[in-house]
Structure 1
Amino acid sequence: MTISAPPEAVWRTVLDQVEVVGRPSWYVRTIGCRDARPSGPRPLAAGSVVPGFRVTAADPPGSLALDGVHRFSVYSLTFRLVPDGAGTRLEAHTDATFPGVLGAVYRLLVIDSRLHRVATRSILERVRRRLATSREGYDRRQL
């Protein structure tokens, strides 16, 4: 998805959205996420934790890599920000394994139902909308 804002503005908005991705917290607790409470440095950097994810790498404003573990899956989510002529291309890449029978059932419910795709796409859309509704797509004073 291309967003009409510079990478630095998109980066800040991605960080804001990742901070809330683990909500609702009851879901994170129910599925037994390894990382259930926010901790670590802010703004997000390697070692930071948001519910459901641990930041494994942060290279502002180019990429943010997260991983997570819960009782049904081991997964990763990586955001890449690529400057282009129209602003910034924002990409989200995911990967997961689903061990055991319960993992296979969870995969059916989350991946095969396309719920995962909708959830990932909604993060990108929230970033785009937030920047589109701010003054001129971003606040130049923050750069």
Structure 2
Amino acid sequence: MKIAALPHVDEHTTIVAAEPAAVWRGIDDVLDRSFASDRTARYARLLGCADRTVSGPRPVAEGSRFPGLRVAGARPGRELVLVGRHHFSTYALVFRLDEAGPGRTLLRAETRARFPGPVGRLYRRLVIGTGGHAAFVRRLLSAVRRGAE
């Protein structure tokens, strides 16, 4: 999947009072906690996600999988590219880490997605239009920040 070919949906950022290596470990921990539940697996099955279980290398690396997501690229301390697809969407969530001064990291989460057809447009309205996706991503970033600091 070519990430750049997917339309940009949104981007959220936070400053973390920690070095990039600690933030990277925080992302790893939060992904395992957030996506390794039976509830997430059931939701992934309901949507028809290609990836429905937690598997692959740990700590997170290319080939790691979570319900609804797989790691398509990993540059520890710099960038993590998660991709997925289901009946209503093809999507990517890209975490980027940049130095923001001594002992500080700018953590960005960019979402890209395509929502084909009328059902895809309805799904986009339900997930993106309601603000649910943005709230979820902000919670992920906050959890990473708390864990890394």
- TM-score, normalization: structure 1? 0.87
Equivalenced residue count is 132
Q: Please show how residues 78-89 of structure 1 align to structure 2 within 5 Å.
A: 78-85=94-101, 87-89=104-106
- C-alpha deviations, 1:61-103, integer Å up to 9, x for none? 1000010001110000000011121511100000000111111
**Is 1:20 matched with 2:33?**
yes
State the distance in 2 between where 1:123 and 1:38 align: 18
Within a 5 Å distance, the mapping from 1:129-140 to structure 2 comes to 129-131=146-148, 137=149
Q: Which amino acid aligns with 1:19?
A: D
Q: What is aligned with 1:33?
A: 49
1:116 to 128, 133, 136: 133
Match of 2:61 among 45, 70, 75: 45
The RMSD of aligned alpha carbons is: 1.2
Q: SS of the counterpart of 1:26?
A: helix
Structure 1 unaligned blocks of 5 or more: 132-136, 138-143
Residue 3 (structure 1) aligned with residue 19 (structure 2): no
1:106 aligns with 2:119: no
Structure label with greater radius of gyration: 1
Asked if structure 2 preserves the Cα contact closer than 8 Å seen for 1:21 and 1:51, the reply is no
Equivalent AA in structure 2 for residue 96 of structure 1: A
TM-score by length of 2: 0.84
How far apart, in 1, do the equivalents of 2:91 and 2:34 lie?
14
Distance in 1, Cα, partners of 2:61 & 2:68: 15
Structure with bigger RCO (C-alpha 8 Å, 6+ apart):
2
Q: Does 1:90 align with 2:107?
A: yes
Aligned to 2:84: 68
Return the letter of the residue paired with 1:79: F
Q: Structure 2, unaligned stretches of length 5 or more?
A: 1-13
CA shift at 1:47, angstroms? 1.3
**Residues in 2 aligned to 1:79 and 1:21: alpha-carbon distance in whole angstroms:** 15
